Amino acid sequence: MRGYGDPESGGLGYGDPDSLAGSVLERGYGSPNQEALIYLELRAARVHHRGGAKIQLTGPLSDELAPYRLSMQVSGETVYLYSGIAGQGPDLIKRRGDLEAYTPPAPAGSYTLTLHCGPSFLTTYTVGSALVIEPDNRGAQRYTARRLPPSFYSTGARFSSQEPVDLATVKPKRPAQLHQVLDIFGRISQEHAGSPQTVLARDHARGETALELESVLGFGESGAVYIDAQRYSYTVSGSQLVLNPGLKSAQPQLSEVIRDVT
Please give the pLDDT value at position 162: 93
Strand runs (DSSP E) across 112-229, as ranges?
A: 114-117, 123-126, 131-134, 197-199, 210-212, 222-227
Percent with pLDDT over 90 in the chain: 61
pTM: 0.78
Q: If DSSP codes are grouped into helix, strand and coil, which group holds residue 160?
A: helix
Please give the pLDDT value at position 157: 93
Please give the pLDDT value at position 228: 95
Percent with pLDDT over 70 in the chain: 85
Q: Residue 252: CB partners within 8 Å, gap ≥ 6?
A: 200, 203
Q: How far apart are the first and last CA of the chain?
A: 44
Predicted confidence band of residue 44 (pLDDT cuts 50, 70, 90): confident
Kindly report, residue by residue over 188-246, the tens digit of the pLDDT: 898 888 888 999 999 999 999 999 999 999 999 999 999 999 999 999 998 899 999 99
Specify the CATH number for 35-134; select among 3.90.1150.10, 2.60.40.10, 1.20.1260.120, 3.40.50.12280: 2.60.40.10
Domains of the chain, by residue range, sit at: 1-34, 35-134, 140-259
Helices (H), the chain: 140-146, 177-193
What's the mean per-residue pLDDT of the chain?
85
* Of the candidate ranges 2-11, 15-24, 55-64, the one whose mean pLDDT is the lowest: 15-24
Predicted confidence band of residue 39 (pLDDT cuts 50, 70, 90): low
Please give the pLDDT value at position 14: 44
Mean pLDDT of 242-261: 95
